[in-house]
Each structure stands twice: as C-alpha cells, then as structure tokens.
Amino acid sequence: MGDGKTHSSYKRAKIDKDVGDSAVEVLQEKGLLRVEKAKNIFTSWSENETVDNKLYFTSPFYRFWFAFISPLFKGIRDGDYKEIRQRFTNYQNEFVQLTFIELAQEFLKLQFQDDKIIEIGSYWDRNSELDIFATTKSGKIIAGSCKYTNSKIKKSELNRLHDICENAKIKADIFVIFSKKGFSSELKSLKGEELKLFTLKNFKSLVE
C-alpha cells in the first residue's frame, strides 16, 4: 500500500535503505517484485535531482497477500477474521486503484493499433504525478488519470491534468481519463482526438 516509492516503502517497513535494497533484489529475483524507474526526461528536473524508483508487485495476489494476509496471519490462522475484514474495508479503494491503473494501461495498448504504444507506465517527479504516461511510435505523448471513485468525473480533472503537464514541462498530445462511474456532461462534450474517456465497460475488450 502507499505510493510505492522506495523511500516511503522502506519507512513503512521500518527498515533502512541497505536492508530495503537487498530485500528488493531478492524479491525481484523470485519474480515477486518489479522496479519502475522515474523518467528524467523533462526540463522540470534539475541536473542533480534524484527521484525515488517505484516498487510494484508483479501480481495483484502478491499485493493482497503482503497487504492483508501476511501482517495479520496469526489472527487468520486462529480463525479470527475481524481485523482483516476491517483492514480490507479501510484500504479496499486504495488497493483496487493500482489494479485499475494497470488494467487501463493494458487497455490502451489495444486501443492504439494504428500508432502503437511503444512505452507505457506512470510518471512522477518530486512535485507531479500521472497515473498514465505513454509514447507512441510516431512520438505522440499520452497523459492520463484513473479514478476509481463513486462520483462522476468533472472537467476539473482535465484541468488538473493540464496543470500537471504544464508544471512538469510535458507536452501531451492526447489526454485520457478512466472513470469507474462515468463523466459529467460538460466533460463528455469535450471528448475527441485530444481527449479520450473510458469507463469500466471498455475493459471488456481485455477478456474478449
């Protein structure tokens, strides 16, 4: 859980950097963890600026195990499920959010067939973060967000994406927004070549 950055992950685990780096290396070797490096390609970064990498479990099951099962194993073993139920209730949306982002990224790979996506992931620096950052074969940049909430997404989310890209000096050609519950009429009216909107229904193509 959390933002996945190495520093905050080690802090939550209450281990120092050397121990954390060793643990990450072992988990990578076992295929449980992957490391995504920050993209130092925009002028918003100073020459000497360093930004933490992010750690991702290679399967949602591994995330579930280490977030909910392993820390509470004793109670589960003894047949006491109250604590795990409460923990899952408290962190369910946070847990699902990352899976939602990863599904959105896989979905976009299928959508851009004429101008194939050659790289996709997330973007982050010290001040800005994007759920989706991708480049296509022709050099277009795609920036986007994923909102797994019970509210319709409004135009303010598009404005927020514009602000993030402006601050990070990212010249996005296409904006994409994924929403669990859909979009306001105002935002839908802006949909076109430079703004693409998707909901959970669109994910059907991932299993067809």
Does residue 148 surpass a pLDDT of 80? yes
Domains of the chain, residue spans: 6-100, 108-206
Assigned token pair, 35: 């490391």
Query: What whole-number distance in Å separates Cα of residue 170 and Cα of residue 127?
Result: 13
Residue 20 has pLDDT above 70, yes or no: yes
For residue range 87-112, what is the model confidence (pLDDT) as tens digits? 999 988 888 899 999 999 999 999 99
C-alpha distances (whole Å) from 35 to each of 24, 38, 56, 195 are 8, 10, 6, 30
Nearest CA-CA partner of 198 in 100, 54, 64: 100
Highest mean pLDDT: which of 3-7, 126-130, 168-172? 168-172
d(CA 35, CA 68): 22
> Burial letters for 153-178: b for 16+ Cβ neighbours within 10 Å, e otherwise?
beeebbeebeebbeebebebebbbbb
Q: What is the model's pLDDT at position 82?
A: 92
Please determine, for residue 154, whether its predicted confidence score (pLDDT) is greater than 70: yes
Q: What is the mean pLDDT of residues 194-198?
A: 97
With cut-offs at 50, 70 and 90, classify the pLDDT of residue 46: low
In the chain, the percentage of residues whose pLDDT exceeds 70 is 93
Would the pLDDT of 40 be above 70?
Answer: no
Angle at 97 between CA 93 and CA 99, to 5 degrees: 125
User: Residue 15 is which amino acid?
Assistant: I
What span, in angstroms and rounded, lies between the C-alpha atoms of 98 and 105? Answer: 11
Indicate the pTM of the whole model: 0.85
pLDDT value of residue 10: 78
Question: What architecture (CATH level 2) is domain 108-206?
Answer: 3-Layer(aba) Sandwich (3.40)
pLDDT in tens, 63-91: 899 888 988 989 999 999 999 999 999 98
